[in-house]
Amino acid sequence: METMATKLLLTFAICRLIVTVGLTIDPTDLLRLGGAAAAAVGGIQLSVDQSDLESASMDFGMLTRTEPLAVLHPSSAEDVARLVKAAYTSAQVFTVSARGHGHSINGQAQTNNGVVIQMSGSGAGGEKRVGPRPGPPRVFEKERFVDVWGGELWIDVLKSTLEHGLAPKSWTDYLYLSVGGTLSNAGISGQAFNHGPQISNVHELDVVTGKGEILTCSEEENTELFHGVLGGLGQFGIITRARISLEPAPQRVRWIRVLYSNFSAFTGDQEYLISLHGQPDAQKFDYVEGFVIVDEGLINNWRSSFFSPRNPVKISSINGGNGGVLYCLEITKNYHESTADTIDQAAAVLTDKEVEALLKKLNFIQTSVFTTDLPYVDFLDRVHKAELKLRSKGLWDVPHPWLNLFVPKSRIADFDKGVFKGILGNKTSGPILIYPMNKNKWDQRSSVVTPDEDVFYLVALLRSALDTGEDIHSLEYLSNQNRQVLRFCDDTGIKVKHYLPHYTTQEEWMDHFGDKWGRFHQRKMEFDPRHIMATGQRIFKLSSTSSSSSMALL
């Protein structure tokens, strides 16, 4: 019965496409394609191929599986708008979800009663785009910005801008994510203390709203849509073009890691370093992150081969044999290579004195300094190298019960005591990031919610559930541990906010957005009144009529 209902709904949806854009294909023919290929429907690549459906039914979290009715491979914003318009005007409305590289979790880019729009040109396994693709990034050197398709991966944006000696200012740690995907959340990494998140570095967007309209928005034009879409979890429309701010790209990076056994010294140094954001480049680092080490094995294997395998770092040797938790501060300094024809080497070349002057003000364990120099692009793409190693061992495509929290500065010491030194014990199954950001670098008109303090920390438990036979690596154990962390925060009054949020009740979503909920709901009713967009986020229930004001959850 379920299969028959699904086919009937898809047939009905395609019939609406036929009515809307004047197509002549018999929709039942699409259902008979089986595993053949995508069907060209009035210029739209609408696929019911089983491999496409299977790919769109899973995400990086691998925690849920939801198969869509069909997959659209768009070649333009018009393709996206045509499909969304059909969904919006249909008497029997169907849903639309945009999928980039498939790196989201908790089914946030999935739908079981509609169409997934595959915005990015290749999947996690590197499969190529079906049909024609939108144009490549277009760099404007003089104005220092780049126009990119919403499904473009950041690694490809970087490659395009570097050809002009330019690069975006703010990044995510992993570059194989889509532009539209990260801008729908925020997009953060170690540059955020200085440049703000990626959403703070956008000049303009083209968005297909939930009504099927293509609108250009910016600070000056359609401002409610502009600020709503940035960090809006895909609720108001699909980003088809983004205009990203650029800066001159450095050539190389001095990458430094130092260790701490004292948490207050660690956070004190991090907070000092991000307070330098207004200083000249020579007087600050370009990137500030950190991570927690509760498992000795992780210090030599965290995300990259940073430390030499021939000289592994031992927690016991650094921590005086006392065991316990260590903290690693990760910082970088960008620079240009010295050449014979460099006119002003003093301004262009990194000097050891700059780094030494900054390090002298920090309180790390003096014997723990590890430094390496590498090309700028290699540093930015560092996580991909770790990905390739994990893939080769079958350790990448596993469940990822991640938990990402923004923790207010005033309670980070309590979080350390209760979580890092308490709940987590001395074993974990993946990296734990921790680094502070300046709230004044975040535009509060966006949809993103942050703690109500001038400085707050990202704490990211990026664990992987492994089938090792050990309970501590199991999905059940890690998921339960996440619940313990959240319960601890609730019991002790630590007012955390979720990054990449996922909730199942309207009360939880309203609590998450706080005083932003009213505007968030108002924007939803204006730009997606039938609630057809991004239903995998489970914020609003699908509306049967365009005039409905239903606020119920799925």
CA angle 297, 474, 489 (to 5 degrees): 85
Tell how strand 237-248 and strand 145-149 pair up.
antiparallel
CB 327 within 8 A of CB 290: yes
Q: Is 289 a catalytic residue?
A: yes
Distance between CA atoms of residues 338 and 345, nearest Å: 7
Q: How many CB atoms lie within 10 A of CB 423?
A: 13
Catalytic residue selected from 289, 295, 416, 528: 289
Q: Among all chains, which residue has been given the structure tokens 């949020």?
A: 501
Catalytic residue selected from 173, 204, 224, 508: 173
Please give the DSSP secondary-structure letter assigned to residue 533. Answer: B
Helix ranges (H only) for 275-410 are 315-318, 345-348, 352-359, 376-380, 382-392
Nearest CA to 237 out of 453, 540, 523 is that of 523
Distance between CA atoms of residues 527 and 205, nearest Å: 15
CB 172 within 8 A of CB 188: yes
Q: Is 173 a catalytic residue?
A: yes
Please give the DSSP secondary-structure letter assigned to residue 100. Answer: S
Distance between CA atoms of residues 101 and 125, nearest Å: 10
HEC profile for 385-411? HHHHHHHHCCCCCCCCCCEEEEEEHHH
Q: How many residues does the chain have?
A: 554
Q: How many CB atoms lie within 10 A of CB 316?
A: 11
Helix ranges (H only) for 77-222 are 77-89, 154-162, 179-183, 192-195
Catalytic residue selected from 73, 103, 227, 400: 103
Q: What is the widest separation between alpha-carbon atoms in the chain?
A: 76
Nearest CA to 473 out of 398, 526, 552, 554 is that of 398
Distance between CA atoms of residues 230 and 150, nearest Å: 12
Nearest CA to 167 out of 149, 184, 148, 186 is that of 148
Buried/exposed 468-488: b ≥16 CB within 10 Å, e otherwise: eeeebbbbebbbebbeebeeb
- Residues marked active site are found at 103, 173, 289
